[in-house]
Structure 1
Amino acid sequence: MEKFKLTQADVDLLNTNKGLTAILSKEPYNLEKALRYVKYEKRLKKLQVELVRLQSWAIEEKEKVIIIFEGRDAAGKGGAIRRITERINPRHYRIVALPKPTVDEQTQWYFQRYVNQFPKAGEIVFFDRSWYNRSVVEPVMGFCTQEEYEVFMNQINNFERMITESGIRLVKIYMSISKREQQKRFEEIKKNPLKQWKMTPVDERAQELWDVYTEYKNKMFEKTKDGPVPWKIIKANRKTYARVAVINHILKSIPYDKNKEV
């Protein structure tokens, strides 16, 4: 295995406050990991500047933007959304993570409660899970009937065509992790008293039902491949890589003014 070598530029990065913090925060000390993290933080800051530009453009041009996040439980959807929204204006974005439907919502058109959360002019809405619950989680867990599932699958491409043709910009991100990585993250969550609230009954069965989730996920991709908006699949085993990849995709997907002053 090739020995890790530091360049002078690497040494300079590690000799900053962030670099020293990264080195000393974990034992045993690992210069390679510390350097990778400092580079990630530096890259993230530049990308967040671009996100501010994107939001400023959306506000000025009265654009309406929806960004949906799907993926396995513990894939890092919430963490990615936090990094995206960390520096942008909180008055012009919303994060939507809907609870299970109420009794009234269960009698409505399935998409209605999601449509009620759609953006107004100049607003970005992030869905931490979306209407795609009905394509994977609900059928796997028995939360919908086979007929409800089939109706959804028949309507989804037309629904998203209506969204995009109405002038809303739609971005679809799927964060993908391995079964082993998911198990590791679940174990970390269970051990951390500040994160234990994240584990739900659905999460508890995610490993057991891994292959069934895979089957329905593949059906979802197959059905929507001819839809108006393609999925962007992000490999998310490494959280820092995934967050950078997610932001890059958003910036490439929305034609904002890259020269706008912030």
Structure 2
Amino acid sequence: MFHRFIACLLLAHRLSEVPVKSAELEKTDRVALLFRAAQEQQKGIILILEGTGLAGLVHTVDELSSCLDPRHFQVHHFPGYETAPERKDPFLHHYWMHLPRYGDLALFDGSYYHEFVRRVLKGKLSRDEKKAWIDDINRFEESLQANYYLVLKVRLNRHGKDLEDELKSDKKLKSRAALIRKRARYLVKEYRDYSQELDRLTQLTGSPLSPWFTPPEGKGKQVRSLVLDYIIARMEEFLSVDSRQAVASYDEAMKLMRKLNRERNTVRGESEEEIERSEES
């Protein structure tokens, strides 16, 4: 009886030492759960990241890549006007071709918004063409919403001087491909004109179904956290899923399973080392 009492004390002590899940880990668990729900409901997710906050963009992409099933997640780095050849196909055709399958996520980095702004700044679009392209964008996104896609549009702002500093100091940004670095140098050079034109474009393309989300300026990790919060909120509404409760229920079930397993092994008289090996297996 005394040995059973000691074993129970040891069990209670070890359970109290189980680390509490961090807020960031909970977020990634919730994002992963929501994308599994999107797969079950056969709904596609499109995430558009635009603006001058490239460090926030890179950190967000890396975080999503680490917590999602790579079979259902693709990042499309569109070259944009500065490197893309002149095409004869209609505007948006290239983006239509990269829509995700239902249940998957497609992340558009350097999307049709970036291409539009670049062409406007180069003087390649007339007034009528600009109006036609904006109408095309709005109809495109409306048709996506009508066909079971959720369009998430995030504008990441960063002051030109801060972006220039991050190109030198942010390890994730420095390690990116030459295309991203080239885009960053362009944004530093054309910061004012680019930001103003993107301002006008976002005002003309926001809607209740596909609004723009603009988090406060900050470093990559800070912005990443805010973007994940936004993704979670929009997906919960779109899918009618309470991800916080679902993750908490799953964690509680796993904790109970571990507790019952340890109690069963303790009754068998197994040592602490044997119990640990049993849990790991």
Which TM-score band (shorter chain)?
Answer: 0.7 to 0.9
Contact 2:160 2:188 in 1 (8 A): yes
**Alignment counterpart, residue 99 of structure 1, candidates 75, 79, 86:** 79
Partner of 1:55: 35
What letter is aligned with 2:89? Q
Preserved contact between residue 161 and residue 227 of structure 1 (Cα < 8 Å): no
Q: CA RMSD in A?
A: 2.8
Q: Could you tell me which residue of structure 1 aligns to residue 57 of structure 2?
A: 77
**Cα drift, residue 138 of structure 1:** 3.0
Matched, 1:118 2:106: no
TM-score by length of 1: 0.73
In terms of fraction of residues, the more helix-rich structure is: 2
Do the aligned residues in 2 keep the contact of 1:134 with 1:152 (CA within 8 Å)?
no
Matches of 1:43 and 1:221, distance apart in 2: 31
Question: What's the counterpart of residue 142 of structure 2?
Answer: 161
Query: For 1:176, which of 145, 149, 157 is the aligned residue?
Result: 157
Q: Would you say how many aligned residue pairs link Structure 1 and Structure 2?
A: 219
Tell me which structure has the larger Cα radius of gyration: 2
Q: 1:250 aligns with which of 220, 225, 231?
A: 231
Query: Aligned letter for 1:214?
Result: S
1:213-252 equivalences under 5 Å are 213-226=194-207, 228-252=209-233
3-state SS in 1 of match to 2:67: coil
Q: How high is the sequence identity, in percent, across the aligned residues?
A: 17
Paired AA for residue 126 in structure 1: L
* Residues 156, 215 of structure 2: 8 Å contact kept: yes
Q: Is the 8 A contact 1:74 1:186 kept in 2?
A: no
Match of 1:199 in 2: 181
Residue 66 (structure 2) pairs with residue 66 (structure 1)? no
Mapping for residues 7-22 of structure 1, pairs under 5 Å: none
Contact 2:174 2:181 in 1 (8 A): no
Q: What TM-score, normalized by structure 2, do the two folds share? A: 0.69
Segment of structure 1 superposing worse, 202-211 or 233-242 = 202-211
User: Which amino acid is the alignment partner of residue 68 of structure 1?
Assistant: I
Instruction: State the one-letter code of the partner of 2:67.
Output: R
CA contact (8 A) 2:55 2:170 kept: no
1:129 is displaced (CA, Å) by 2.2
In structure 2, do the counterparts of structure 1 residues 93 and 194 end up closer, same or farther at CA, with 3 Å as the change threshold?
closer
Instruction: Look up the equivalent residue of 1:94 and give its one-letter code.
Output: Q
Aligned counterparts, 1:2-41, within 5 A: none
Check conservation: 1:171, 1:250, Cα contact below 8 A.
Answer: yes
Aligned counterparts of 1:169 and 1:233: Cα–Cα separation in 2: 17
Cα displacement (A) at 1:69:
0.7
